[in-house]
Amino acid sequence: LCMNVMLIAAVEAPAING
């Protein structure tokens, strides 16, 4: 779960910013 959350956050952060 921890790894999954980190991966999602890393992908979602730039997607929302970009």
The single residue listed with the structure tokens 């980190």 is 6
pTM of the full predicted structure? Answer: 0.11
What average pLDDT does range 2-13 have in this prediction?
Answer: 76
Res. 1: pLDDT tops 70: no
| Burial 1-18, CB ≥16 within 10 A → b, else e | eeeeeeeeeeeeeeeeee
Res. 2: pLDDT tops 70: no
Res. 11: pLDDT tops 60: yes
pLDDT value of residue 5: 80
| Helices (H), ranges, the chain | 2-17
What is the band of 8 on the pLDDT scale with cuts at 50, 70, 90?
A: confident
